[in-house]
Amino acid sequence: MEVLHFLFGVFGNVTALFLFLSPTITFKRIIKSKSTEQFSGVPYVMTLLNCLLSAWYGLPFVSKNNILVSTINGTGAAIESIYVLIYIIYAPKKEKAKILGLYTFVLTVFSAVALISLFVLHGNGRKLFCGLAATIFSIIMYASPLSIMRLVIKTKSVEFMPFFLSLFVFLCGTSWFIYGLLGRDAFVAIPNGFGCGLGVMQLILYFIYRNNEGLSSPEMKKSNGNGSIEINGAEKPHQDKQANGRAPQDDQV
């Protein structure tokens, strides 16, 4: 059982690393276009908080036999910090202020949890407190793409919900869910079971709408008469499918 527990922890590390790296395609697009377009920055900030709290929870003086949780989440925290920084650089002023405020909230919450657990709590009380904090914000992290799922349903397009991100949400959630069950750790199993279910929902949406052209909803797309389309007030060059041989969503994985 311990060997199986370890193997699922290793597999969880691998799938989580791919999950953390999967948005690199999105951020290459953001850097190239110098715009965050309709991509949301909330999932990356919430993932950063989840990584920080989970890495803290996995440390030996908080919970035993969870060092694999700390290693991958420490790595994830560094990667997500880079994403948040890039997003802030290219986001519109209003969105920039929103993400900066959320980023400040993330650092405040993590600092509070770390300080309280270090100087106020001990033993099982420390594990319970840190575990609850990690569980709550893990569920929030997994739930943060719900706004993008709503956009997918509204526009009937997966242009702004990358396939690999959805795939690795499912794989990562599943592997850590099993890891938590094998280790009898509810603080690992519960949030990742939720993530597994949400990953399934995202994949279902992807396969339903994967062949649709982007921005098909009248609310999201309107012509301004000069060969471009307007997305929530921001212009985006119109791509002629027949002219370049591919639809706009072909740029998205």
How confident is the model over 144-192, as pLDDT tens digits?
Answer: 677 778 888 888 888 777 787 788 888 888 999 999 999 889 999 999 9
This prediction has a pTM of: 0.74
222-223 and 234-237: which strand pairing?
unpaired
3-state secondary structure of 230: strand
Which among 88, 106, 89, 117 has a CA at the least distance from the CA of 48? 106
Query: Listing from the earlier edge strand, what are the strands of the sheet with 228-231?
Result: 222-223, 228-231, 234-237
Instruction: Compute the distance between CA of residue 166 and CA of residue 198 in angstroms, rounded to an integer.
Output: 9
Instruction: Compute the distance between CA of residue 229 and CA of residue 141 in angstroms, rounded to an integer.
Output: 32
| CA dihedral over 63, 65, 69, 74, signed as positive or negative | positive
In this structure, what token pair is assigned to residue 22?
A: 């999967």
How confident is the model over 80-118, as pLDDT tens digits?
Answer: 999 999 999 999 999 999 999 999 999 999 999 999 999
